[in-house]
Structure 1
Amino acid sequence: MHSIERLSAEVFESCVKELADVLVDAVDSGASVGFLAPFDHEEAAAWWRAQAPAVADGGLMVWACRDGGGIIATISLALASKPNSRHRAEIVKLMVRREARGRGLSRALLAVAEQAALDVGVDLLMLDTETGSTAEHVYLTGGWTRYGIVPGYAGSPDGTLCDCSFMYKRLTRSA
């Protein structure tokens, strides 16, 4: 059974190595999550450490999913900081280790992030993902709406430019 926990600033610091492992696995498996191969643990840990101030000030919420120990998946919610956009946030870095895929963890993490967004007054979520990817399918079947595709928007880990789907989801409280 898995457990999902929001990482406090203190706990986040102690999880950087495991979060880096998940990020490296995502890049190694071809996920377009912002990095090019080769991508090592040191680079991944440095990227996560750079997020620590945003985690500490609450601008970035990070959740870790564990399955009997180590972190096997993660999702982050980046809150908007501008006064006219505090009703929206962005889903970033939804990643599941290869050996844990196909178990519904992406959907479980999305549900947790969506509820947390509602809890802080956010009712509009945004994200972007590689067009045609498994991730896009997860979002589309999870109630997200694609509002556009930008050709050649981002590079896959091997540097090949890929189309990117931009999506949103309106959140409502369940009765």
Structure 2
Amino acid sequence: MSAADLEGLAQVLVDCVARGASVSFMAPLSLDQARAWWSGIAAEVARGDRILLVARDGAGCVGTVQLVVAQPPNQPHRADLAKMLVHGRARRQGVGAALLQAAEAQALQAGRPLLVLDTASPEAERLYERGGWQRCGFIPNYALLPDGRYCGTRLYFKQLAETLPAWPPQA
């Protein structure tokens, strides 16, 4: 991950947390904290545990999403879609939808035809449902919002291929 990407991704994360996104962090989130977190993610990407996608415009990073491909041995066909983040300056411009489509394509290339996610954002729910994701549950009081209030989360999945890979894998 380049220094410019690290900085841009840190700014996106800080912006999203400041706007109330429930993405594992409490407010206020400093740029230093965000940079440190992204440095850890960069290490997971380098190990092949995650796939990181970044959306950019002329001013730099405007959004990101991750596929967590490091799964238990009994789930080699699955990935978690995580940390869908779009900077406030780029909202409602199709960035989230483009990231979602790119993540789904990357998941198929990685042999992960089943995706799962959770979200506490009604706006994100609309994005996922427009993209063909299936709502499969709700957990109340799942996490805290950045301001300390409890929030529930909706669970979604999407099967990207009609058939799943044969097990064991064919050599």
TM-score by length of 2: 0.90
Equivalence for 1:144: 133
Asked whether the 8 Å contact 2:71–2:79 carries over to 1, the reply is no
| Residues paired across the two proteins, number | 162
Structure 1 residue 137 displacement after superposition: 1.3
Q: Which runs of 4+ in 1 moved over 4 A?
A: none
Cα distance, 1:13 vs structure 2: 5.3
Please report the TM-score for the alignment, with normalisation by the length of structure 1.
0.88
List alignment gaps of at least 5 residues for structure 2: 163-171
- Asked whether 1:98 is paired with 2:98, we answer no
Residues 74, 109 of structure 1: 8 Å contact kept: yes
SS in 2 for 1:39: coil
Contact residue 151 and residue 163 of structure 1 kept, 8 A = yes
Q: CA RMSD in A?
A: 1.4
- 1:124 has 2:114 as partner: yes
1:90-135: CA deviations, max 9, x gaps? Answer: 011111111100011111001001001001111100000015x201
What is the Cα deviation at residue 42 of structure 1? 0.6
Which consecutive residues of structure 1, in runs of 5 or more, have no partner in the other structure? 1-10
Q: Distance in 2 between matches of 1:150 and 1:163?
A: 5
Whole-angstrom CA distance in 1 between matches of 2:5 and 2:58: 15
Q: Distance in 1 between matches of 2:50 and 2:4?
A: 16
- How far has the Cα of 1:172 moved from its partner? 2.3
Q: What fraction of aligned residue pairs are identical, expressed as a percent? A: 43
Cα contact 2:71–2:78 (8 A) shared by 1: no
The code of the aligned residue for 1:21 comes to Q
